[in-house]
Chain A
Amino acid sequence: MNPLRAIIFDPDTCLAQRQIPNITLFPAATAEELKDSVRAGAVDLVMVDMHLPGTNGLDLVSELRLARPNIPVIILTAKEPTDLDWRNAATARFLQLVQTPVTDSELLYHVTRLFPKPVEYGRTELHASTVDQLRNDQGRLDAKLVADLFGLTLTDVAANVGISRQALSKTPDSLSVQGALNQFERIARSLLTVTGTEKGLKTWLNAPNKRFDQHTPLEVIKLGKAALLADWVDDARLGSPQ
């Protein structure tokens, strides 16, 4: 992918000297230079200060959009944004309001908001086939197949059902067993949606995680808490500040 070409008009910051992955930054010395570059289609993204000498960043953006209505814009402001600023930013299209100073990762986050990647619909089929592999010929969830996908022993799986390994083998189709195995299926489905691959699923399950006090998600399952992990993975995938 070619790097994004971003032009910055902000006399007070040295943002243009930053090295940010996938973005080529270059400064505009004047508002006219900025307008010319936008009109000429020489840039993909505009970053402009909210408070400019003799003018206002939002007014300047309105002018730029006469030439290119959908040009993505990041408005920079060193001051705490006012309520009106936030309101304007919320209603404007292709615009992000960013308070400076800003870290590279925060800036990249806002750029991502302006250039969303297309959703990979093909992934859904991949998830379905991987999750379907957890079921046997009768369409029942199979404890052995679950254990294999998650890298667990049958004893670990049994702990999540609240029965012994022997009992798990004797009554694999019981409602309680199938209900508990369903939690593993939920985890697999959610993680495959996020990671896209079986390898990614296993990598996440085995990586120490700050949210679990540097324990791995697999350790949470081994505590017999697959149902809890399934809920948390769903919540995390769908989003909610902690």
Chain B
Amino acid sequence: MHDALGIARALKRIAPVKYPERNLFRCVEMSALVGGANRRIQPLFDLGPGRSGQRFTPVGGPRALYVAEDPYTSYLESTGMFDSVADLAEKLADTQSTLQFRVQLEEVLDLTVADTMLELGTNQEELLASWEWQMATGARVPTQDLGAAAFASKRFQAIRFTSAKRADHANLVIFTDRVVAPAFVECTDSNFPDRLP
């Protein structure tokens, strides 16, 4: 991956792609989404990644919603930290629910496209590397630099990237502050109405 300046320059050369309306998924323990004055469930709760870091979100980074393009990938991703011990991930599955969203985005940085990776000076291996260990050792986390630069450029509403758990499936990180009409993100469960913008 280029350095921060190189990333910013490369992003100017990359055209955002449209993301036609489709369903995306989030596997989560519902209690994690309770907040606000009414203590209601907020399916689009987006403050977690900036608090402790995520693959494309540095600590203190922008509000972000991490979702997968299919429910099983969402489950595998969300329980991945516990699959080092047999049966632990399955135990978590009993406590988590899968939320479904209708999503349409106008400007997406698609990292599953080879030319886009080339422009950024990166590759699949780097994009899927362990960002947690990099953070723990104080090393640079290239994906977090990219996420911060993509948000700062104001040219992208989301980043689409290959799943670290299923190479033929993809996830998105949506910068919720950048979602403006006609783009939208909407929870399909009528029990938990939530929508952006």
Knowing A109-B93, A228-B135, A237-B92, the reply to whether A207 touches B85 (Cβ < 8 A) is yes
Q: Which residues of chain B come closer than 8 Å to A208, judged between CB atoms?
A: 84
- Whether, in the assembled complex, B137 has its beta carbon less than 8 Å from a beta carbon of chain A, the answer is yes
**B137-189 contacts to A (CB < 8 Å):** 137, 163-164, 171, 188-189
Residue from B52, B135, B171 having most chain A Cβ neighbours under 10 A: B52
**Are B80 and A83 in contact, CB atoms less than 8 angstroms apart?**
no
**Are A242 and B66 in contact, CB atoms less than 8 angstroms apart?**
yes
**Are A240 and B98 in contact, CB atoms less than 8 angstroms apart?**
no
- Whether, in the assembled complex, A235 has its beta carbon less than 8 Å from a beta carbon of chain B, the answer is yes
How many Å lie between the Cα of A37 and that of B188 in the bound state? Answer: 33
**B14-31 contacts to A (CB < 8 Å):** 21-23, 26-29, 31
How many Å lie between the Cα of A238 and that of B48 in the bound state? Answer: 10
Knowing A211-B132, A223-B136, the reply to whether A241 touches B72 (Cβ < 8 A) is no
Q: Smallest CB-CB separation from A89: which chain B residue?
A: B100
Measured CB to CB, the closest approach of chain B to A18, in angstroms, equals 17
How many Å lie between the Cα of A67 and that of B23 in the bound state? Answer: 31
**Are A109 and B32 in contact, CB atoms less than 8 angstroms apart?**
no
- Whether, in the assembled complex, A182 has its beta carbon less than 8 Å from a beta carbon of chain B, the answer is no
**A157-205 contacts to B (CB < 8 Å):** 194-196, 200, 203-204
How many Å lie between the Cα of A239 and that of B84 in the bound state? Answer: 16
Q: Which residues of B contact A (CB under 8 A)?
A: 21-23, 26-29, 31-32, 48-49, 51-55, 66-68, 70, 72-75, 77-85, 88, 90-96, 98, 100, 102, 129-133, 135-137, 163-164, 171, 188-190
Instruction: Please name 27 pairs of A and B residues whose Cβ atoms are closer than 8 Å in the assembled complex, sorted by A.
Output: A90-B23, A90-B100, A99-B70, A109-B75, A116-B94, A194-B92, A204-B82, A204-B84, A210-B84, A211-B133, A212-B136, A213-B133, A220-B132, A220-B136, A228-B53, A228-B135, A228-B136, A231-B52, A234-B52, A236-B79, A239-B27, A240-B48, A241-B66, A241-B67, A242-B80, A242-B164, A242-B171
